[in-house]
Amino acid sequence: MDLSALGRRLRRWSPLLLFVALSLALKFALPAHLPVGPALALGDADAWVLSPSMAGSRSDDTLYWRGSGPGVSTASRVVAAGREGSFLALHACLRQAPSVGAGAVLLASENGGALDFNRHYFASRLSGVVPGECATDLFPRRDGDGDAIVQVVLMEPDELLAISEMAVTPMEENPRWRLLRIAMLPLGIGLVLGMFLPYLERKPRLPGVAGLGAVVAILFGCCVSVSLKADIYALLSGGRQIVVEQDLAGMLLNPFPLGGFSLFTLLHAVFFACASGFLETQRRGAWLDLLFLGVVSETLQIWVPGRGPGVSDMLVDWTGVAAGLVLVLVFRGGQRVRLLLQHQRVDEDAPR
């Protein structure tokens, strides 16, 4: 791509580049959620119920857990979350993390006689947090939610997890942030659609319409709230709930199911691949617009309650773009081969 073409593309991107910069600046300048109750500290080692294969201790204000046997090891405790707040914030600071993929912290809330994992599910791998740093995840609350259970899971024996600080805090959305969200989310969606509408001007229009449809599906997936996303997931998968047969205390030794919304991650990659395939047939270099859309789509999630941007999700989006581009290149290569063979047959059949 020459410099003039790159300059034209940057001019087309400039409104969205400003949107991304403004969104990131506001995210760091203004808290999206505010506490509405005291933080419930989880540092008391005696309050945790350990599975037979889990060993736990406390020293120097740090909780240590180690898987001491085969299979999954768990440490669980009930959190009297009450009715305050639309979200629960689970905060943890690591001293030492298990190896990649070997540990997780989960949260579920009792609702209607079941532990609900569709709306209350914490699947951030602990190994993704740098030791010595802290991480906070939000879990949306809904009507009828009661107490919650926090569970630490170690999937492998001899894995060690050390957490120096752990607490659950009820949170509400910052009213000032809500006003910004109501303005910024439609603005971002409108700017994205404005960037891709010119693809409909090329003929034949059907690939452009299909590509724009994939872009709309991507935007829908980005802007769905956590609760609605969980409802869709429950509809497609049958839900992720454990029935509470007696009381919450009787559930503490049961390991919670691992897994998350991988179905939505897969669909995002598929829609990016479809958009890449269709739009690249309309205009060469469309894949660059879609790589940029991967950045913007993650930025849009700053303005969706309970969600946020993720580098791993953006890499999945870019993988979908690459897959769609490869399919287009293979298709174009096949067309060239067919044309070459046709010309070769014509030359052979021509009278000499």
264-275 residue pLDDT tens: 778 889 999 999
For residue 222, give the H/E element and its range: helix 205-223
Mean pLDDT over 85-106 rounds to: 80
Min mean pLDDT across 47-51, 151-155, 205-209, 329-333 is at: 329-333
139's tokens: 């879990």
Separation CA 139–CA 87 (nearest Å): 5
Separation CA 204–CA 297 (nearest Å): 27
- Percent of the chain beyond pLDDT 90? 27
Mean pLDDT over 87-113 rounds to: 80
Mean pLDDT over 331-341 rounds to: 58
Min mean pLDDT across 87-91, 125-129, 154-158, 229-233 is at: 125-129
Q: Name the more confident of 232 and 293.
A: 293
Identify the CA nearest to 320 among candidates 275, 261, 263, 264: 275
Which residues are bridge partners to 88 per DSSP?
139, 170
Buried/exposed code over 27-65 (b: 16+ C-beta within 10 A; e: otherwise)? beeeebbeeeeeebebeebeebbbbebbebeeeeebbbb
- Give pLDDT, residue 293: 94
Separation CA 107–CA 92 (nearest Å): 13
pLDDT band at 79 (very low <50, low <70, confident <90, very high): confident
Separation CA 297–CA 312 (nearest Å): 13
**In degrees to the nearest 10, what's the CA dihedral of 73, 90, 107, 77?**
60
Q: Indicate whether 70 pLDDT > 50.
A: yes
Separation CA 82–CA 213 (nearest Å): 43
146's tokens: 């009661």
339's tokens: 């044309």
One-letter identity of residue 77: R
Separation CA 162–CA 122 (nearest Å): 18
**Where does residue 343 fall: left (phi above 0), alpha (psi -120 to 50 degrees), or beta otherwise?**
alpha
- Give pLDDT, residue 109: 83
Q: Indicate whether 337 pLDDT > 60.
A: no
- Helix intervals (H) in 125-204: 175-196
166's tokens: 């752990």
Angle between helices 311-349 and 286-300 (to 10 degrees): 160
Residue with token string 């969205």: 16
